[in-house]
A and B are shown apart, each in its own frame.
Chain A
Amino acid sequence: MNDLVRQLGLAQPQVSKHLRVLREVGVVDVREQGRQRLYRLNGHALKPIHDWVKNYERSWSERFDQLDVVLEDLKRKEQGDADDR
């Protein structure tokens, strides 16, 4: 918890509130260890979101794969122009 407060730069009550919601929907699991509460991310719970975004992501990946080819051509052309000089 203290680690999260430090890393997020949020106040502790805010972090607690977010963690409570995340725990309720099963995105994090919590374990008591002495006076500490240890939280663990449950990646499985995020899978539906990942699946939802995946196809959108894929269309951009396919665009960018083609952009890679265009960029290689542009680089070769620039190199060619430099050699001509």
Chain B
Amino acid sequence: MTGSGTASVTLPTDDQILITREFDAPKQLVYKAFTTPELVKRWWNAKRGEVTVAEIDLRVGGKWRYVMIADNGSEVGFHGEYREIVSNERLVSTEIYEGLPEGVSEEQGGTLNTTTFEEADARTTLTILVQAPSKVARDAIIDSGMESGLQDALDLLEQVAVSLR
């Protein structure tokens, strides 16, 4: 038995992204999978590479950092700081992409993410509200998904081309 399939992504305002997904597990376990480095390493890569760093200092003011080596060899890193922690209920943290374009400050490119874990009938609804500092920053985050999607398509194309040789 698995969860409910695809994640739902909506754009509640010009500078926000809301991600929602239901899981077939109690919230303590979902929270555990979100806050335990060895477990984060198993799912955060999104099937696109290997998570080589997952550091979590789970206290208010504590830092986190994830690094993934993508299958195409590129390295992407994210880090931030925990602002609010309610065990098994709610996490608020900053998130900064380590590959921000030159000239874009952390204030201009970072987001404030609120993750909530709500349980009903042994299932957990997870929501992540990404609050970006501007519409430009929010749109850039959505675009980055586009790039990785495009990268997937190019990788696939390459495999097909190689198989034809």
Residues of A near any B CB (own CB < 8 A): 49, 52-72, 74-75, 78
Shortest beta-carbon distance from B64 to chain A in Å: 16
State the majority secondary structure of interface residues on A.
helix
Is B69 part of the binding interface, using a Cβ–Cβ cutoff of 8 Å?
no
Residue of A nearest to B122 (CB): A75
- Complex: A53 Cα to B141 Cα, angstroms: 10
Shortest beta-carbon distance from B48 to chain A in Å: 7
Binds A, one of B6-14, B90-98, B103-111: B6-14
* 10 new A-B contacts at CB < 8 Å, known A57-B145, A63-B44: A57-B7, A61-B5, A62-B46, A64-B7, A66-B45, A67-B3, A70-B42, A71-B29, A72-B1, A74-B32
**Set B21, B25, B43, B145: member contacting A55, Cβ < 8 A:** B145
Cβ A66 vs Cβ B149 within 8 A: no
Chain A residues with CB under 8 A of B47? 62, 65-66
Residues of B near any A CB (own CB < 8 A): 1-3, 5-9, 11, 17, 19, 21, 23-25, 29-30, 32-33, 39, 42-48, 141-142, 144-146, 148-150
Chain A residues with CB under 8 A of B149? 54-55, 58-59
Chain A residues with CB under 8 A of B44? 63
Chain A residues with CB under 8 A of B21? 60-61, 64
Cβ B7 vs Cβ A60 within 8 A: yes
**Set A59, A65, A75: member contacting B145, Cβ < 8 A:** A59
Chain A residues with CB under 8 A of B1? 72
Shortest beta-carbon distance from A73 to chain B in Å: 9
Residue of A nearest to B153 (CB): A55
**Set B30, B32, B48: member contacting A62, Cβ < 8 A:** B48
**Set B11, B19, B33, B48: member contacting A71, Cβ < 8 A:** B33
Cβ B46 vs Cβ A59 within 8 A: yes
Chain A residues with CB under 8 A of B146? 52, 55-56
